[in-house]
Structure 1
Amino acid sequence: MTFKSQSLTPAHNKDFISLIDELNVSLGNITGDSGESSFVADDFDLSRDGCIVVYVGNKAVACGVFRFHSGQTCELKRMYSKVPGAGSFLLNELEDLAASKGYVGAVLSTRRVNERAVKFYQRNGFKEIEAYGKYMGLERSICMGKPIVGFHH
């Protein structure tokens, strides 16, 4: 399967919105919470945030976003993939884009009950870190982080 990616602004992109709708349903089924409250697309700042949609042909199959977190660290959000291999491709593309914007590290939070996501991030070099922000004191959440190298191609 050949993947291609497109960097875009998320707020009004129909492919991104459609994938996020699927993500919300999926997370709602797995965790009981869609995660929608953690992301406001209108706050997007192209100078420091990034959004990528991955395609196979003309079909959007994966999406993800990073936002400024602190210093030279970004936070990955709204990661979703519906075909095997697209998630890893997406993560590499996001890391490259983040590196090009000066980031040297990435953090994220997901629910511990979402074992597929936790295992995916572990396979891709993420390690558990101390909880941050609104995730502090939440046993149901796992915060993870890794250095970003960039330029995987």
Structure 2
Amino acid sequence: MKVIRTNSENKDFKNLVKQLDAYLKITDGDEHDFYNQFNHIDVLKNVVVFYIDEIAVGCGAIKKFDNASVEVKRMFVSEEKRGSGIAQNILTELEIWAKELGYKKCVLETGKRQIEAVNFYKKCKYNVIPNYGQYKGMENSVCFEKQL
């Protein structure tokens, strides 16, 4: 197992994001186009990819949200590898990286229909906050934050 820090040009990251988008197209339903407009990966400069036996099985990214915060984006673990602690490793690496860059907090948005994700962030000590930015008024969105 290994975790690498990279950027959105990484081909393994791009392939994992394709899998993530296919999954979200199903769970987001009619709202997929709305959410998808905020998920362009070309703006992501801080990307983590998790490998098992040289195969990319998970990813995540952070991007500047404000002067004190980063937003966690594009968290994904291949379906067959879920439940094995990979997501925790990815999120921990992103939080460490955010601290190294001088940020004090992580924020993120996920969908209420992604029950596993909601439960995962709660388990990782993220607290529900009012929906921010483009997610205000979106019934399916749930937003979180964690002080680093």
Q: Give the structure-1-normalised TM-score.
A: 0.87
Aligned to 2:72: 76
Q: How does 1:1-153 map to 2 (within 5 A)?
A: 3-10=1-8, 12-32=9-29, 33=32, 35-44=35-44, 46=45, 50-82=46-78, 83=81, 84-148=84-148
Q: Residue 22 of structure 2 aligns to which amino acid in structure 1?
A: V
Structure 2 residues not aligned, in runs of 5+: none
- The alpha carbon displacement at 1:37 in A equals 1.7
- The alpha carbon displacement at 1:67 in A equals 0.5
Q: Which runs of 4+ in 1 moved over 4 A?
A: none
- The alpha carbon displacement at 1:42 in A equals 2.4
Query: Which one has the bigger helix percentage?
Result: 2
Q: Secondary structure at the match of 2:131?
A: coil
Aligned equivalents of 1:71 and 1:39: distance in 2? 21
Q: Residue 29 of structure 1 aligns to which amino acid in structure 2?
A: I
Q: Residue 4 of structure 1 aligns to which amino acid in structure 2?
A: K
Q: Would you say how many aligned residue pairs link Structure 1 and Structure 2?
A: 141
The CA RMSD measured in Å over matched residues stands at 1.3
Structure 1 residues not aligned, in runs of 5+: 149-153
Q: Secondary structure at the match of 1:38?
A: coil
Deviations 1:11-67 (A, max 9, x none): x211001000000011112222274321222223x4xxx110011120001100110
- The alpha carbon displacement at 1:133 in A equals 0.4
